[in-house]
Amino acid sequence: MVDVAAIQLVSMPDVDANFAQVKALMEQSKPGQLVVLPECFAFFGGSDKAQLELAQQPDNRILERLQDIAKSYQCWLVTGTLPVLSDSRQRFRAASFCLDSNGDVRGRYDKIHLFDVSVDDSTGSYLESRYTEPGDTVTVVESPFGRIGMAVCYDIRFPGLFQAMEQIDVLVLPSAFTAKTGQAHWHALLQARSIELQCYVVGANQGGVHANGRETFGHSSIYSPWGEKISSLEQGVGFISGTINTQKLSRIRRAMPVGEHKKFRSYFEQSS
């Protein structure tokens, strides 16, 4: 058995302050654990253009600082998302990295589905694609926790992405779900993905009111492959954890072999 964890933040438009909170919460981690940070963990609550300006700073060192954290705490770390400049340098990619306990990059996923929607909240409308370039590659990482499927926030609404991953053991989902959409759909979507994929789901969310007035839902949660909620944190800053039971995972898949019954080809089969 191995442990997974999620960190929940109410991130500010202040990189150093957000890193200080992450380090304080990492004191609760265990060596060998898989820890997931929320979307936009390092800078949130400012303008979308400010994210682009952060990506354009050649010395922001966000990834390097995260690699140091992974090494210091001897944890695998899913970095939430970082703004990484696209080739055009006029937009960035919302990139999530999976780091091992040596700080080495084991996988990178660039958010594919961008949040261009209207929401009945204080923000009203969201146009993520204005400054963000979508990714185009499905990412699965081989690890001591099994096969890790990587996704970000709005991606959770698109089950085709997860079916394309073939069989995964853990789905990691850094997020900044709005309070309105989170109340309606967050738990239902996490549970649905855990059941249909027969895997553990670790959803790390932002959880509070941010400097620009944006409200995020929180409720960072870990779900089992049977759709059970193992751990959850409603609002505010905190750390939750749970255990991956590989015997339970195997037992569920033997009793209900959904993967064998699936009639559709995977992304990896089509690409080979």
What are the catalytic residues? 39, 111, 153
b/e burial code for range 41-57 (CB count within 10 A of at least 16 → b): bbbbbbeeebbbebbee
Amino acid identity of 164? A
b/e burial code for range 130-149 (CB count within 10 A of at least 16 → b): ebbbebeebbbbebebbbbb
The SS3 call for residue 263 is coil
8 A C-beta contact, residue 5 and residue 241: yes
Non-local CB neighbours of 247 within 8 Å, separated by 6+ positions: none
What Rg, from alpha-carbon coordinates, does the chain have?
Answer: 17
How far is CA 143 from each of CA 75, 100, 106, 135, 190, rounded to the nearest angstrom? 12, 8, 9, 23, 22
Distance CA 163, CA 71 (A): 32
Report the candidate in 118, 193, 184 with the shortest Cα–Cα distance to residue 151: 193
**Which element (helix H / strand E) includes 97?**
strand 92-99
